[in-house]
Amino acid sequence: MSTRPLVALAGGTVFGAGLTVGGMTDPARVRGFLDLFGDWDPTLAFVMGGALVVMAIAWRIVPGMARPLFEDGFHLPTRSDLDGRLISGAALFGIGWGVAGLCPGPGFAALAIAPADAAIFVIAMLAGFVLVRLTEGKR
């Protein structure tokens, strides 16, 4: 048996736990962070700052690696252009994040904490994925 599924499970579990401990699965906290001109809650800025520190360290280590630990090679994006699809997708993501207070990772993690509330978000998100596939075709 390949270790790849176990590594993915462990990584996803740590990620979900981090989102939960950091408060990213609490829609009220997320909306409080996005409310810059009201009762702003800066807590998530520290969560994002912690993520930036981890990624800064990773970006220093990765160039010295011949390959990832559990993969045959690195799969980095090759495109750097901005197009209407990317910009409209980012805008929809931001609107959805502001309205629901959740984005995909925290939405799935929230299924373990508040399944009824999170399920509505996850089902709507998955329906959006299907709608894009049906209207744009596979890419």
Give the pLDDT confidence of 8-35 residue by residue, as tens digits: 999 989 988 888 888 888 888 888 988 8
Contact at 8 Å (CB) between 48 and 30? no
SS3 state of residue 10: helix
State residue 137's pLDDT score: 65
Mean pLDDT of all residues in 57-84: 89
CA 86 from centre of chain: 16
Confidence of residue 37 (pLDDT cuts 50, 70, 90): very high
State residue 65's pLDDT score: 92
CA 75 from centre of chain: 18
SS3 state of residue 79: coil
Could you tell me the CA-to-CA distances from 113 to 13, 22, 124 in Å, in that order? 14, 14, 18
Confidence of residue 104 (pLDDT cuts 50, 70, 90): confident
Which has the closest alpha carbon to 135: 62, 92, 85, 99? 85
Predicted confidence (pLDDT) per residue in 53-70, tens digit: 999 999 999 889 999 888
Look at residue 1 and tell me whether its pLDDT is greater than 70.
no
